[in-house]
Amino acid sequence: MLLKLGVRPEEAISHGCSGRGVWVMSSSAAMHVAISIDYLNQQGLASLEKIWSKFASKKRTAGCGSACPVV
């Protein structure tokens, strides 16, 4: 699968034979080549970054210009 997604053969072999867990390997260079943001978008997966940015601005507190201390 990694070869089909553009990973070089030596990287794919190294990745496949690694004893590291999937969470550690998910941040490897080979995985970033194989499963890019464009690939995930083509698969129809939602972008968590876009979803978060829609709601992030709504959870901020209201401001009043310069700080207005409440005593």
pLDDT in tens, 18-63: 888 888 888 888 888 888 888 899 999 988 888 888 887 766 665 6
Residue 64 has pLDDT above 70, yes or no: no
What range defines the domain where residue 37 resides? 1-47
Give the torsion sign (CA, 15, 19, 22, 28).
negative
Report d(CA 22, CA 17) in Å as an integer: 12
Distance between CA atoms of residues 48 and 32, nearest Å: 17
Asked whether residue 57 is domain-assigned, the answer is: no
Q: Is residue 5 situated within a structural domain?
A: yes
Kindly indicate the confidence band of residue 9, based on its pLDDT and cuts at 50, 70 and 90: very high
**Global pTM exceeds 0.85:** no
Q: Based on the structure, what is the number of domains in the chain? A: 1
Cα-Cα-Cα-Cα dihedral of 30, 34, 35, 41, to 10°?
150
Q: Which residue has the tokens 């969470």?
A: 23
Domain-located, residue 25? yes
